[in-house]
A and B are shown apart, each in its own frame.
Chain A
């Protein structure tokens, strides 16, 4: 009991200290602001003031600008959040939609309802498995290929690289068709014939292993990431390589001990972008995973509010609740790795 009281006292104490601090800093702020508009004595003082004034105005400008853009970015997310807490009838009736929901009107049950609509954890597990292996694969192929293109000298290197870059001009949707045919010919779709057709289940339908191979392999390499990492590797001075060579290091050891650590921010960016790519993949898993239980989170999300048949309307609140649940893990990862993402993206000036 006593402990509790002392704890409360402590909290009170720190609270009052905090408010005191705020008061003091608020006072300081106002007096500073006031001093800007009070005429000072002497030329020196005048100059100091006008400089200060300019600085404050510039800062205010920058922050207003940033604030406006922050709001633009945050509003859709905020709207998603409050829609997920609204009553479905309200959503249809409110024109324009309200931007605020009272706490007592918040329908947290929407989250429960949308969790009941789809096997969140099954889809989440699939997504994590696919994201993990696809990212591992992408890292191995990207690092090795970038090293070859950036450091090794072989005949036709630049031409080959140019050929790689050209494939970036083909829209991704085109690859869906060829990839689908490849996966199908490899026997990964539960039909007879092909390298992997031996893995089918007893009743001839697609097995989990087949589905995962089909889901992961096409995303185990990416020309864009190779290009991205090659640029990072290129910035590492040749002298390091030559010095390492003089010391008798093998190429692989040099790559592992020198290049990868130096290019770590780029590699982390690639990891994150690829994970996010898997997270938002929709068409491919829908195409190659025959059974729903092998599909990924976005497919599940679609199912969570899938409205079929004419005349039925989407329950936007459940839709948004499901979207929140799907975005949440990604958001957590983003905040945890924010530092690296920002560094990587701003470094390259390219967004994935």
Chain B
């Protein structure tokens, strides 16, 4: 009898637990004729930019307001953020910003998703587009258009870099669910000394083409004294794939989460890359069993290397070995120029009062302000999110450091007091300035990944797969067709 009872209990629990594993039914489509005011039914309208979804207070309430801000920064970046908070709280004495680091980006996202179910989300947070797409599934973030276009609290959105705006508007209804915050891109660092020894000058104010690269092959690649084993290294195989797809006008993903790599141009692109892997024009850090190519670039194994602008310090060789230059990343042709833009944005969560949302908005407005974005960029290696940030006096002076170094006038120049206060000795920032110049060239053709968060795959899964198959092709273990097919199989 007892055994029977135990067995029944076991069976029941197995059935109950198995129930946990079954997927929940997809959310029903909302009938927009019946509920025209449902958020899913609203679409951004250029003539009437304020959709009226979020309640924007006319005045900031006088009572104390505390906002929680979840971020991922540690050490120097956190210290700088705390400086901004102190300045902001001095401007609005009744607002307290509670900024806490939640570990890495994945920790932050996982915690937020849990907090969504418990209703304990922060007022605002740092988020990648695919995070926002995920939060939107639970309607946990609010569109910011009502704030952006508000007469009292609004900002001039046209001052932001276009592609950043597009990236933040890619969600349902075309509303802006987040504001660009910490942005970076890729750059190409090259061994100036070795190119000059071969009589080649690489321009730093315009990208090279792949035809140029092919032209360098016979002179630059080989075992001679002024030659390298490989011409160019790409630190991120995922970025190489995704950015090349765009330059070849091929298919990768779309905003609906479809995987479009079964595409003529994508096949042609990957076939081209394969041939260039084989003739040692392009290397991946895999060539040296490394995660990044910087060590081998510094050792002279590759003449050029493409990596994140945030990683410039790793590519600076020891004094006296060779000189470097920094240029925009190479392009396939002028019609489809593309450079990756990456880095998180900031958004406001739905589970907060209008007063808190307004306070959070004011804080976002503050940290993305002209002066603040310029300062954040100069000190952290990120890039300004506003055009006025680029054009600000301090940032222009920062950009001019590279030019003065090239012209040999850096030692005689007296920097403004503001820049000295900010950077200490601005003359130490030659490479950072070069990087910023190269990045500034690319601003016009930044492209972003479509963010999606589906049951079968997310945009970050797609990116991961893109990197994996590129490395597999590099390793020569698969054919181009097999690689693309495996990506399709894994993501559907």
Contact = CB atoms under 8 A, between A and B. Distances in A.
Interface string B294-310: 11000100000001111
B289 A312 contact: no
Interface stretch (A3-11, A135-143, A158-166, A260-268): A158-166
A299 B103 CA distance: 7
Nearest to A158: B2
A177 interface: yes
Interface SS of chain B: mixed
Contacts of B182: 309
Contact of B184 (A117, A185, A310): A310
A291 B460 CA distance: 29
A177 B72 CA distance: 22
Contact of B68 (A176, A184, A290): A290
Given A311-B184, A311-B308, A177 B114 contact: yes
Nearest to A293: B100
Nearest to B296: A93
A286 B184 contact: no
Interface residues of B, number: 53
| Residue of B72, B107, B309 with most partner-chain A CB within 10 A | B107
B92 interface: no
A35 B307 CA distance: 68
Contacts of B291: 313
B119 A191 contact: yes
A180 B72 contact: no
A184 B120 contact: yes
Contacts of B184: 309-311
B180 to A, nearest CB: 14
Contact of B6 (A95, A159, A302): A159
Contact of B100 (A92, A117, A176, A291): A291
B49 interface: no
B9 A313 contact: no
Given A205-B98, A313-B314, A117 B117 contact: no
Nearest to A170: B17
B117 A181 contact: yes
Interface string B1-27: 010011001100100010010000000
A49 to B, nearest CB: 53
A205 B69 CA distance: 12
Contacts of A290: 68, 98, 100
A181 B120 CA distance: 10
A292 B310 CA distance: 26
A189 interface: yes
Contacts of B235: 311
A203 interface: yes
A180 B118 contact: yes
B89 to A, nearest CB: 12
A308 interface: yes
Interface in B84-114: 96, 98, 100-105, 107, 111, 114
Given A95-B290, A287-B111, A309 B118 contact: no
B9 A308 contact: no
A169 B10 CA distance: 11
B435 to A, nearest CB: 10
Contacts of B153: none
Given A95-B289, A170-B17, A189-B120, A308 B74 contact: yes
Nearest to A193: B119
A310 B342 contact: yes
Contacts of A159: 2, 5-6, 9
Nearest to B382: A309
Interface in B318-372: 342-343
B113 to A, nearest CB: 10
Nearest to A311: B308
Given A308-B73, A310-B343, A311-B307, A92 B66 contact: no
Contact of B107 (A93, A191, A286, A292): A286
Interface in A186-216: 189-191, 203-205
A123 B83 CA distance: 24
A308 B308 contact: no
A176 B114 CA distance: 9
B292 interface: yes
B310 A309 contact: yes
27 contacts: A92-B290, A92-B292, A95-B288, A159-B6, A162-B9, A169-B17, A174-B20, A180-B114, A180-B117, A180-B118, A181-B117, A185-B118, A203-B66, A203-B96, A205-B98, A290-B100, A306-B74, A306-B103, A309-B184, A309-B343, A309-B381, A309-B382, A310-B184, A310-B310, A311-B184, A311-B309, A311-B310
Interface of A: 92-93, 95, 117, 158-159, 162-163, 166, 169-170, 174, 176-177, 180-181, 184-185, 189-191, 203-205, 286-287, 290-292, 299, 302-303, 306, 308-313
Given A308-B73, A312-B311, 11 more contacts: A95-B289, A185-B118, A189-B120, A190-B120, A205-B66, A308-B77, A309-B182, A309-B381, A309-B382, A310-B308, A313-B311
